[in-house]
Amino acid sequence: MSTTIQSLRDYREKGQKFSCLTAYDATFAGLLSDCGIDVQLVGDSLGMVLQGRESTVPVSMEDMVYHTECVARAQPESLVMTDLPFMSYATTGQCLHNAARLMQAGAQMVKIEGTDWMAESVHQLTERGVPVCAHLGLTPQFINKLGGYRVQGKGAEAAERMVAHARRLVEAGADVILLECVTSSLGTRITREVGVPVIGIGAGPDTDGQVLVLQDILGISRGHKPRFVKDFLQEGGSVEGAVRAYDQAVKNGEFPDSKHSFSG
């Protein structure tokens, strides 16, 4: 049975963890689906892992449409979620137009990075039948403003701001919250308070789902390895084994542990 938005809500209601991995092509999309991955993210991380760029900023709408079409052609049973790339949703009009392009390419949900300034766009999208994942915490498209890849929401004031942003976006209609690179305690708090499924990447063990970049769980990514990354190929013994090991570890609550989380 294919994963839907309602599936993710049901998982949360039952306290059942779900898995998410990035996918950029039909071959891996089919494999991830066969291995039981619940959500496939066509991430703008493709700019770094496929195109060799230093950040996600140069990724274009054409890139995202193309790779969404590739993943969708595999007809995965996973829910397909796609990033709106840098500055493609700067205004509500742009956001609606570009989200429509991704949905027509095969996405079943769009993901956008930012804070509560996105609320009106989230509202307009959901009113028009476009499911939305709101990405908070470390938002890679804002790396030039953030000044580096650092843990976000540290300190009481910053944490309260992020909680308020999450609540506002859910009120606007966001179906899912994604938290990246925040303390475990903040990840726990937001997951408990927002009322929608929360996906974490470096957000501690208590979020409803976990996401990683596919190349990271295979141990083939180049450059700096973030704390929240784990190489599952060593224990899985093959690409398929690594994907299944990741899926199992997430659903059993074994990943992430304290070594792959941020205290505070």
The domain ranges of the chain are 5-252
Judged by phi (left if over 0) then psi (alpha if -120 to 50, else beta), residue 75 lies in: left
Write down the pLDDT at residue 224: 81
CA dist 38 and 68 (Å) reads: 16
Please check the confidence at residue 264 and state whether its pLDDT lies above 80: no
| Residue of 180, 193, 235, 240 marked active site | 180
Q: Furthest-apart CA pair in the chain: how many Å? A: 47
Q: What is the CATH number of domain 5-252?
A: 3.20.20.60
Locus of tokens 């919250």: 177
Task: Give the mean model confidence (pLDDT) for residues 73-88.
Answer: 98
User: Does 127 qualify as catalytic in the annotation?
Assistant: no
Q: According to the annotation, is 111 in a ligand binding site? A: yes
* Tens digit of each residue's pLDDT (9 = 90 or more) over 102-142: 999 999 999 999 999 999 999 999 999 999 999 999 999 99
The pair phi, psi for residue 82, each rounded to 5°, is -130, 140
Is 44 within any annotated ligand binding site?
Answer: yes
Task: Provide the mean pLDDT of the chain.
Answer: 96
Which segments of the chain does DSSP mark as H helices, in order?
Answer: 5-14, 26-34, 46-49, 61-73, 92-105, 119-127, 143-146, 156-172, 184-194, 214-217, 233-236, 239-251
225 pLDDT more than 90: no
Contact criterion met (CB below 8 Å) for 46 and 59 = yes
Do the Cβ atoms of 176 and 198 come closer than 8 Å? yes
Q: CA angle, 210 as apex, 79 and 50 as ends, to 5°?
A: 70
Q: Which amino acid is at 190?
A: I
pLDDT for the residue numbered 146 = 83
Mapped onto helix, strand or coil, the DSSP state of residue 76 is coil
Does residue 210 register a pLDDT over 80? Answer: yes
Calculate the alpha carbon distances from 104 to 65, 98, 194 in Å: 9, 10, 29
How many angstroms from the chain centroid is the CA of residue 32? Answer: 15
DSSP H helices in 173-255:
184-194, 214-217, 233-236, 239-251
What pLDDT does residue 1 have? 77
For residues 141 and 113, is the Cβ–Cβ distance under 8 A?
yes
CA distance 50 to 45: 8
Binding site annotation covers 45?
A: yes
